[in-house]
Chains A and B, each alone.
Chain A
Amino acid sequence: MSDKDILKLEKFCELYEVPTSFVDSLNQFELIHLTAIDDELYIENEELPVIEKFIRLHYDLDINVEGLDVINNLLQKIDTLKKEIIQLENELKYYR
């Protein structure tokens, strides 16, 4: 992993104007994954869209971290169901 792929947690919070405690809570709820290198916490670039989504939901809709966890689980379920629908539709084509 190169330096380009990670962003220091402090820098992230400064750029996005969010408290470290919020990102820390997301990490504690295992909604995101923080990488520790030499006692410093980093965010992998791949995680950025996910964290951005949680920030928007938290600040736009006043949803607390517990709520984000529930939403995240439900969205994952929806995603799985959508994929299943696509697969089943494709299987149905076989019999048409």
Chain B
Amino acid sequence: MEFVDYYKVLGINKNATEKDIKKAYRKLARKYHPDVNPNDKTAEKKFKEINEANEVLSNPENRKKYDKYGKDWKHADEIEKQRAQQAQYARYAGSAGGGNPFGGFSGGGGQGDYSDFFEQMFGGAAGGRAGGGRRTAKFRGQDFNAELHLNLSDVYKSQKQTLTVNGKKIRLTIPAGVEDGQTIKIKGHGGKGINGGPNGDLYITFRIKNNTKFKRVGSNLYLDVDLDLYTAILGGEVIIDIFGKKVKLKVKPETQNGTKVKLKGKGFPVYKKKDQFGDLIITYHIKIPTNLSEEEKELFKKLAALRNKK
């Protein structure tokens, strides 16, 4: 574990009084408290750091040990004991020194970014206290964040999925119409609470990949449809597949290139609004025929002549 300068974390100097520590802690805690910075990993990390610093420095005995032993402060008693033993040994052996009094201690001990001490206090959680008051040591479990990658076609209908989070299976209903980047909270499925505190929550952010020919804006869908010249001029029908449902659409005669047609209620489902759908906006793109035969060219010439007579 890296040495953390708790004074630096709280922005105070080594001569700071208890009042200074409390003041500095309060100021930083207000800024970085997870409840005022929801889903902010940086604030969460910072809050852990300032809490750890405060827990150590606000306790005069711990502070004294920290000032003396730095990162090994938690092992102060053991170090003292070993020093005493070594001093005794040196006296018996008739020589002083000869050994590292700190031998046998690796310092820190925790594998993560924070000390065991802090892990004990907060369980690696950012949640802070639930149950209220300084009287209880109940801690809310850590909030978990996860990403779920889905295709746009998957979220056209509500669907059930089973996720495995930290070895636990969670059955989840994903409502139709969920947006890319949208986050939902599943209460109580985060880290386990400590000392009877409530569990944290699980936040799932949806990442939705568009695997369709549609473009989606909110619950509206946009689609470019190619029309052959003759259907555009004479009118006709086109069939559009909307997520497995075929919709027959009449094309008016003399439809111009770029014409937009709105199909009300044929778009994407509105999130959590049963039987409500956005609109489908179709833009026609007229395709001019290529590789014309001589006969076709003649006919077009005739058509052009007819048009010029008008």
Q: CB within 8 Å of A: which of B30-60?
A: 30, 33, 35-36, 38
Q: CB within 8 Å of A: which of B108-159?
A: 128-136, 140
Task: State A55–B140 Cα separation when bound (angstroms).
Answer: 12
B135 surroundings in chain A (CB, below 8 A): 17
Task: State A75–B133 Cα separation when bound (angstroms).
Answer: 23
Tell me if B216 and A56 are in contact (CB < 8 A): no
Task: State A59–B135 Cα separation when bound (angstroms).
Answer: 10
A16 surroundings in chain B (CB, below 8 A): 131-133
Most central of B130, B218, B222 by chain A CB within 10 Å: B130
Tell me if B131 and A15 are in contact (CB < 8 A): yes
- Given A49-B187, A91-B217, A75 and B36 contact (CB-CB distance below 8 Å): yes
- Given A56-B35, A61-B26, A61-B30, A86 and B179 contact (CB-CB distance below 8 Å): yes
Most central of B131, B135, B187, B222 by chain A CB within 10 Å: B131
Q: CB within 8 Å of A: which of B148-187?
A: 179-182, 187
- Given A17-B135, A18-B133, A94 and B215 contact (CB-CB distance below 8 Å): yes
B269 at the interface (CB under 8 A from A): no
A87 at the interface (CB under 8 A from B): yes
A90 at the interface (CB under 8 A from B): yes
Tell me if A61 and B29 are in contact (CB < 8 A): yes
Task: State A12–B75 Cα separation when bound (angstroms).
Answer: 41
Tell me if B133 and A59 are in contact (CB < 8 A): yes
A55 surroundings in chain B (CB, below 8 A): 129-133
1/0 per residue, CB under 8 A from B, across A52-79: the answer is 1101111111110000000100010000
A3 at the interface (CB under 8 A from B): no
1/0 per residue, CB under 8 A from A, across B250-264: the answer is 000000000000000
Shortest Cβ distance from residue B142 to the other chain A in the assembled complex, whole angstroms: 14
CB closest chain-A residue, reference B196: A15
A89 at the interface (CB under 8 A from B): yes
A89 surroundings in chain B (CB, below 8 A): 180-181
Shortest Cβ distance from residue B308 to the other chain A in the assembled complex, whole angstroms: 40
Task: State A49–B199 Cα separation when bound (angstroms).
Answer: 11
**Can you list 21 contacts pairing A with B, beta carbon distance less than 8 Å?**
A16-B131, A16-B132, A17-B132, A49-B187, A52-B131, A52-B132, A52-B140, A52-B198, A53-B35, A55-B129, A55-B131, A56-B140, A59-B133, A60-B129, A61-B29, A61-B30, A63-B30, A87-B179, A90-B218, A93-B180, A94-B222
